[in-house]
A and B are shown apart, each in its own frame.
Chain A
Amino acid sequence: MSATDKRAGSPAQRLVVLVPYLWLVAFFLVPFLIVLKISLSQTTIAQPPYVPVLDPAAGLQGLREFLSGLSLENYASLLADRLYLSAYLKSLEVAALSTLILLVLGYALAYGLSRAPRRLQPLLMTLVVLPFWTSFLIRVYAWINILQRDGLLNQALGALGLVAEPAVWLSTDTAIYIGIVYSYLPFMVLPIYAALDKLDETLLEAAADLGCPPWRSFWLVTVPLSLPGVYAGVLICFIPIVGEFVIPDLLGGSETVMIGQTLWTEFFANRDWPVASAVAAVLLLLLVVPIVIYQQFQARARDAEA
């Protein structure tokens, strides 16, 4: 029996698992069940602003009343209203396209980093990671300065004589894409760099010795071996981008509404908690497959490391 098995047995060691476990069940898992429950409720003007409310004191009778009060009405209204459907589709579209842009730019940057002189690599990687430590909100805000009508981008373009009239950048889809690519770039670069860094260079030398031109060995050797990093980067970017709120809200226009904004408006402006919950439940349903794939991926990567 190994030492690790022994440790898991004692009551003190069991607490090591139990304490964070219970915390996560209470504040991560149970809240989702509550979201599902409230998505089946109806809005009312009260505190809390939904019915039915489960009253544990009423016993079985109360439970029966509670269950009969639940309905799928909110989901029906999500389906009936084009607004929600188009917000979901727009979110998926923005997430897919921006993940693609991130992949191209992130791969180029990660590849450049992995080919940089060895002694410079830690410094360069630190420089790529550093912006992550500064606030997300600040980094999005920084772009408002640049993209607004009389902002620096239009000033620069005007000075270069590229545009006669100041172009509209802020409150457009372009601004959303710029904001997303800017904010998520380190998350795409890191896993790809990690995969490229592990790549055995003798494989490329062997390919070259056998007469394979560099661009072909890139496609036939480098790309396939970097795929684990690519998959990780794609999932890490795609999943949160679908539910992104801050970037489309601050940089986007009123004609593009992503589902994170819809949920926000339903909750804060319309105070319709049941519909907001239904929006969240459907969003979670859309993302459950990529999230599970991501978890499997992480688990496998960890087993490989251990």
Chain B
Amino acid sequence: MRRASWFNVASVGLGLAFLYLPIVILVVYSFNASRLVTVWGGWSLRWYGELLADRAMLEAAATSIAIAVASASAATVLGTLAAVALARHGRFRGRALFTGMIYAPLVMPEVITGLSLLLMFVALAWDRGFLTVTVAHTTLTLCFVAVVVEARLLTFDASLEEAAMDLGCPPMRTFLTVTLPLIWPAIAAGWMLAFTLSLDDLVIASFTTGPGATTLPIRIYSQVRLGVKPEINAICTVLIAVVAFGLVIASLLTKRSHIKQEGMVALGAVR
């Protein structure tokens, strides 16, 4: 009964074109020799050269990557713990609140999360900067990690763990030798998701950052507000290439491209 009707082919074709055309145009125009972003002046790497000379942009990129690595790592640990708690610990006290706190941040408008975290940091009298952005990103992304890892925990057979424990394996060892090898693709996918979300975030970082910790999206945003520049196309293309490269590496590492699957589970379950 699976005949490709014209309607189905058209909807998929147009849908994919709509999703990809703007990105393709952006990438192509980053190689434009002309200063005018709308006039094609031949192929050139000029804007990549200018990008390399832009100290502020490079510093922002380094800051962003450092924050993304730190927050994704913290979020992966906390999110995995949360996932194990949700999937394996049955009805503990305060479970409803816990579930709520995992799922609410996924849809909460970022302006609310950003403002509330900032006011929290002010109340604690923490100096705003690298640490506060990292804590903010950890809080948001640990929820995404938790959902991805939990989905994985729910789909494999819990009796494997029970068998190990019935045979006298202590819980900690069961987790390390049975559970962890089974869920690590989801954990890796969770880390990647957290890393990407942190690298991408403008709103929460703008609220929680301070002097000396300008992230890449904040820098790009302040440039974009002044108008479209070919240099921005170049940095965007570099970012797209980095993410694409990361995804290819990740899917090669996990053989049956679990990452893509988990990424889809993440989206299906999360957003």
Whether B53 sits at the interface, judged by CB under 8 Å, is: no
| Interface 9-mer from A68-76, A79-87, A119-127 | A119-127
User: Which of A182, A239, A277, A301 makes the CB contact (< 8 A) with B22?
Assistant: A182
Q: List the B side residues contacting A182 at CB < 8 Å.
A: 18-19, 22
CA distance A3 to B165 in the complex (A): 7
User: Which of A23, A191, A201, A204 makes the CB contact (< 8 A) with B139?
Assistant: A23
CA distance A190 to B138 in the complex (A): 25
Contact B89 A4 (CB under 8 A): yes
The interface size of chain B toward A, counting residues with CB under 8 Å, comes to 101
Contact B19 A111 (CB under 8 A): no
Asked, given contacts A128-B16, A155-B38, A267-B207, whether A260 binds B109 with beta carbons under 8 Å apart, the answer is yes
Whether B49 sits at the interface, judged by CB under 8 Å, is: no
User: Which of A108, A117, A263, A305 makes the CB contact (< 8 A) with B15?
Assistant: A108
Q: List the B side residues contacting A139 at CB < 8 Å.
A: 22-23
User: Which of B5, B113, B138, B154 makes the CB contact (< 8 A) with A115?
Assistant: B5
Whether B260 sits at the interface, judged by CB under 8 Å, is: yes
Whether A27 sits at the interface, judged by CB under 8 Å, is: yes
Contact B228 A144 (CB under 8 A): yes
Contact A27 B78 (CB under 8 A): no
Instruction: Give the secondary structure class of B's interface.
Output: helix
Contact A28 B267 (CB under 8 A): no
CA distance A306 to B90 in the complex (A): 12
Whether A194 sits at the interface, judged by CB under 8 Å, is: yes
Please give me the residue from chain B that is nearest to A187 by CB atom: B271
Whether B58 sits at the interface, judged by CB under 8 Å, is: no
Q: Which residue numbers of A lie inside 8 Å of B, CB to CB?
A: 2-8, 10, 12-13, 16-17, 19-21, 23-25, 27-32, 34-35, 38, 48, 105, 108-109, 111-113, 115-118, 122, 124-139, 141-146, 148, 150-152, 155, 182, 185-187, 189-191, 194, 201, 204-205, 235-236, 239-240, 242-246, 250, 260, 263-264, 267-268, 273, 276-277, 280, 283-284, 287, 291, 294-295, 298-299, 301-302, 305-306
Which 4 residue pairs are nearest across A and B when measured between Cβ atoms?
A243-B109, A31-B116, A112-B11, A20-B82
Chain A to chain B contacts (Cβ below 8 Å), 10 pairs: A23-B138, A124-B12, A128-B15, A134-B23, A135-B243, A136-B202, A138-B26, A239-B107, A240-B110, A245-B111
Q: Which residue numbers of B lie inside 8 Å of A, CB to CB?
A: 1-2, 4-5, 7-12, 15-16, 18-20, 22-23, 25-26, 29, 37-38, 78-79, 81-82, 84-85, 87-90, 92, 94, 98-105, 107-113, 115-117, 119-120, 122-123, 135-136, 138-139, 142, 146, 150-151, 154-155, 158, 161-162, 165-166, 171-172, 196, 199-200, 202-203, 206-207, 217, 220-221, 224-225, 228, 232-233, 236, 239-240, 243, 247, 260, 263-264, 267-271
